[in-house]
Amino acid sequence: MNDLFHLHPSSFFIIDQLIDLDALKVIQINKDLGGPSVEEMLPVFKKVLAKKQLVVWGEFDDDEIALLLDQLPAKGLMLHLVAPDVGVAKVQMGKICALIAS
């Protein structure tokens, strides 16, 4: 068994079974272009974080980042940000640090 399982929102139908696997430590969920919004996925993220660590991977706008940081516990959460270039990534990281500090 792997310690991490990667899935997309189209596979949310197996999330309960994954959460029940003792050997599985981390679930990585992609935010897909054209898929459900971050707000729509929050209940799944919360369900995962209740028992596992969670990596949320994708390109996020400022509002989505603020929503994730406001609605999800920090313990066990990792955001894997995708940005079009290093400059955008640095700006996003600055905003994230400011949100965390406030």
Q: How many domains, in total, are found in the chain?
A: 1
pLDDT band at 11 (very low <50, low <70, confident <90, very high): very high
Global model pTM greater than 0.85: yes
Give 61-99 pLDDT, tens digit per residue: 989 999 999 999 989 999 999 999 999 999 989 988 888
Torsion angle, alpha carbons of 82, 60, 12, 35, to 10:
-100
Give 19-37 pLDDT, tens digit per residue: 999 999 999 999 998 899 9
Task: Output the six-digit token pair for 94.
Answer: 């600055």
What's residue 2's pLDDT?
62
Residue 99 CA neighbour count, 13 Å, CB half: 17
φ/ψ of residue 69, rounded to 5: -70, -30
Task: Output the six-digit token pair for 47.
Answer: 């369900």
